[in-house]
Amino acid sequence: MKKLLTYIMPLLILSLPNGIKAETAIETQVKKIVGSESRNDSKVFKIEKWVRDNVKYISDNKQFNMNERWTLPMETLQRKRGDCEDGAILIMSFAVTAGVPRDRLRLYAPIAISSGELHASVAYQREFDDQWVWVEWTLNRAYSLGDIESRPTMEEISFIPMGYYLEVTSLNPFNMRWLLDDEWRERSKTVFTSP
């Protein structure tokens, strides 16, 4: 009988429905944030607001005593603090977990902002008109941008991507791929070479 159970138990465990699997902390948090929302534009807006309200901006120098450190989404969620790319990666992770298609999300880094500083931020391709908009959690200007549907497009904001973005191929940023956005690369050349 013991031998029979030894063979049958693994098969029973493997045949359990997916609904019985353990839920990750990110999945649990995303369910709390988006609730029963089905529209991706609304999901992204709720996620951006949650990250802005619950994650404290702190530089890598102050937090880790180093100039640059990218953290995994789970670490940022646990610490509830990070710098621009940490919150951006968390936004992307939450959005993908909420069912937003991966090809509608990009993390651009570096971005030149009007103050001359370099920055990292998420771009999202809205559902209602397929236009790309910034999803920004660190800059005060984001508070005035409004909901996703009424938000100005990337072209209308003074954040200029240098042309590189991180494609969402995994929820682990160290397994994502850097791609070149030729259109933004050409636009950034004119901005940075003009007098």
Instruction: Give the percent of the chain with pLDDT over 90.
Output: 36
Q: Where are the domains of the chain?
A: 24-193
Per-residue pLDDT, 3: 55
The answer to which of 70-84, 97-111, 168-182 has the lowest mean pLDDT is 168-182
Q: Per-residue pLDDT tens for 147-159? A: 888 888 888 877 7
What value does the mean pLDDT take over residues 6-18? Answer: 48
Distance, CA of 154 to CA of 34 (rounded, Å): 24
Q: 24-193, which class in CATH?
A: alpha beta
Q: Is the pLDDT of residue 71 over 80?
A: yes
Model confidence band, residue 5 (pLDDT cutoffs 50, 70, 90): very low
Q: Which residues of 132-143 are buried (b: 16+ CB within 10 A; e: fewer)?
A: bbbbbbbbeebe
CA atoms lying within 13 Å on the CB side of residue 116: 0
| Residue 118 CA: distances (Å) to CA of 85, 86, 151, 160 | 11, 14, 22, 10
Distance, CA of 58 to CA of 63 (rounded, Å): 7
Q: Is the pLDDT of residue 181 over 70?
A: yes
Q: Is the pLDDT of residue 105 over 90?
A: yes
Among 42-46, 148-152, 173-177, name the most confident range.
Answer: 42-46
Distance, CA of 88 to CA of 140 (rounded, Å): 15
What value does the mean pLDDT take over residues 43-58? Answer: 94
What value does the mean pLDDT take over residues 105-117? Answer: 77
Of residues 150 and 186, more confidence is placed in 150
Q: Per-residue pLDDT tens for 21-34? A: 567 899 999 999 99
Model confidence band, residue 12 (pLDDT cutoffs 50, 70, 90): very low
